[in-house]
Structure 1
Amino acid sequence: MRTQLLTPLTRKQWYVTGSFILLVLIVSAAIATLAARWLVGLEPVAEFITRYPGEYELPENTPTGIPAWVGWQHFFNMFFLFLIIRTGIQINRERRPRGYWRSKRGGKKISLTLWIHLVLDLLWIVNGAVFYILLFTTGHWARIVPTSWEVFPNAISAGLQYLSLDWPTHNSWVNYNSLQELAYFITVFIAAPLAILTGLRLSEYWPKNNKALSDTFPIALARGVHLPVMVYFVIFTVIHVILVFATGALRNLNHMYAAQDSTNWTGFGLFVLSLAAIVVGLIAVRPSLIAPLAQRFGEVTAR
């Protein structure tokens, strides 16, 4: 019985499971939309939305607009995150790695897939550190860090408006709505650090000889958190992309990629180029292609 439970799903089973999950999501979304439209039609809820339209005023000194460095940071974050998720899935599915890497200083051999996963993690962390520095030195932190308790009722209001398909009107060039703000805050200041910390705990670089530290943060806990965090990033990305295209694609893409508040095709063109770069990256993280790069930093063997 246990062997049957651990048997990988066939392609047909994956299709059936995926189709069932998709159907459940569609039905759930339809029910949620109907419920939200009924709620916003109630007078007390309508008054609540009028009082809390979905956003609150930012501090007076908050810069207006989205600078170019945000666009570059957004691209590199997306690029590394897609490749990290891809290699993470490969690691979980690998049974017989096609190659191994060992540091020139010795130590345990790891698969080439795990090696590139760790390299991508490091690059993602460096990119995130640069983002943190620029965010707080330029004053743009106030756009994604709540500065008022009104963020919570406004987030509820924005959520109801999204669900009812009567989406909140706002200008993200000046201010994100409160639901966006909370989502960005959770992603940048909670999910990302959790991914880094749990990834470090699962890696060979964790100080395993430090028993007190290892007992404080058990490896089982790290495994139990690391995968859900990855799932969170996937869900966040899907919702984020859907809303970008559904709430004014050209203007939103210009905000994100071209650092301009307009509705021309510049941002869309840069977005397409970024997708092309991601596709190339997803192809390039194969063990056979990364082996020459890995050899520059250690010993690569077939077994």
Structure 2
Amino acid sequence: MPLLTTPGSPPKAEAKTWTSLIKRVLIAVAALAVGVLLAKAFRGLDAVQDFLLTYPGHSALPANAPVGLPAWLGWQHFLNAFFIVLIIRTGWQVRTTARPKAYWTRKNTGLFKTKNKPGKISLELWFHLSLDVLWLLNGLVFVVLLFVTGGWMRIVPTSWDIFPNALSTALQYASLNWPAENGWINYNALQVLAYFAIVFIAAPLAAVTGMRMSPAWPKGNTLLDKAYPVELARKIHFPVMLFFTAFVVMHVTLVLSTGAMRNLNHMFATRDDAGWLGFWIFLFSVAVMVAAWFLARPIFLRPLAMLMGKVSK
């Protein structure tokens, strides 16, 4: 059920929708409050206190792990955030738009020339797929630099104690008595698992399922379609998008609530202090993302889409 009603919806239906939304929000807030109270009570147990002392929340890094954050990670962070925000927006548009305002058909010339007539897709889907390609290229550069510089050791678990330390970190967050943070040297165990899941699990899943659902998938191959049905790709692709959305919300929340100025300097200025440079770079990057969000409309997308194909109503 959509969160907002469509134009022309009866007033009673609109009121029912908003009532349902308010109920869900209140239930979520109540569940969160109960969770915090339970975590605080659980943390007061002697056995749990001993567990927290044994596993403070950080798993030791290999001796040759790099210290600090390199400059390339700053612009990589911006590009990844920029593409993910727009990919989530366009993905939701593709899923919810019943009647697209414009369609795109690729040029059947040069390297793209085929015997079959090119298929027509919505302008929203064209933009979504274009962003996917740019995001994957950026991700490829990121992974290569990660392994060349040794930065992979900061986000790939290298010891089994990562799991009890992650549990310890989760309990500390839930009880609102948060663990000590020093991301310049070592992420906490929960961060390591989250970053590993985003880079090496969620991103590949988004790519392989998106490829299956895209017009680039070979048509008419019965054996290939049976081995990898499009229904399976759809069942995986949307939850992966929700996972990315949840990650972004939690990531931004924790960045701003666990030493915002220092965290922003780590992420955008690649320096370990609490100055203002990272904040201003972050503010500029947010302005760029907001502008891109509102400019991602057919009137602005048409000129770009026409460079690679034909746009029709």
TM norm structure 2: 0.92
In the alignment, what sits opposite 1:261?
272
- Please state how far the C-alpha of 1:18 moved relative to its aligned partner: 3.1
Pick from 53, 56, 68: which aligns with 1:53? 56
In the alignment, what sits opposite 1:67?
70
In the alignment, what sits opposite 1:299?
310
- In 2: Cα distance, 1:54 partner to 1:84 partner: 33
In the alignment, what sits opposite 1:150?
161
> Which of 207-216 and 153-162 deviates more?
207-216
Pick from 125, 136, 146: which aligns with 1:114? 125
Structure 1: stretches of 5+ with no match in the other structure = none
Structure 2: stretches of 5+ with no match in the other structure = 7-13, 109-116
Please tell me the root mean square deviation across aligned C-alpha atoms, in Å.
1.6
In the alignment, what sits opposite 1:276?
287
- In 1: Cα distance, 2:275 partner to 2:28 partner: 34
| Deviations, residues 190-236 of structure 1 (Å, cap 9, x unaligned) | 11111111111111111233322221221111111111111111111
SS at match of 1:167: coil
Query: Identity of paired residues, percent?
Result: 50
TM norm structure 1: 0.95
Contact 2:42-2:48 within 8 A present in 1 as well: yes
In the alignment, what sits opposite 1:201?
212
Aligned residues: 298
- In 2: Cα distance, 1:13 partner to 1:133 partner: 51
Q: Structure 1 residues 14, 251: CA separation in 2 closer, same or farther (over 3 Å shift)?
A: farther
Residues 12-31 of structure 1: matches in 2 within 5 Å? 12-31=15-34
Which one-letter code corresponds to 2:104 in the other structure? Answer: W
- In 1: Cα distance, 2:19 partner to 2:197 partner: 33
- In 2: Cα distance, 1:145 partner to 1:14 partner: 43
Q: Structure 1 residues 117, 14: CA separation in 2 closer, same or farther (over 3 Å shift)?
A: farther
- Please state how far the C-alpha of 1:9 moved relative to its aligned partner: 3.6
1:245 to 2:264 alignment: no
- Please state how far the C-alpha of 1:89 moved relative to its aligned partner: 1.3
- In 1: Cα distance, 2:121 partner to 2:202 partner: 26
- Please state how far the C-alpha of 1:14 moved relative to its aligned partner: 4.7
1:171 to 2:182 alignment: yes
Q: Structure 1 residues 17, 234: CA separation in 2 closer, same or farther (over 3 Å shift)?
A: farther
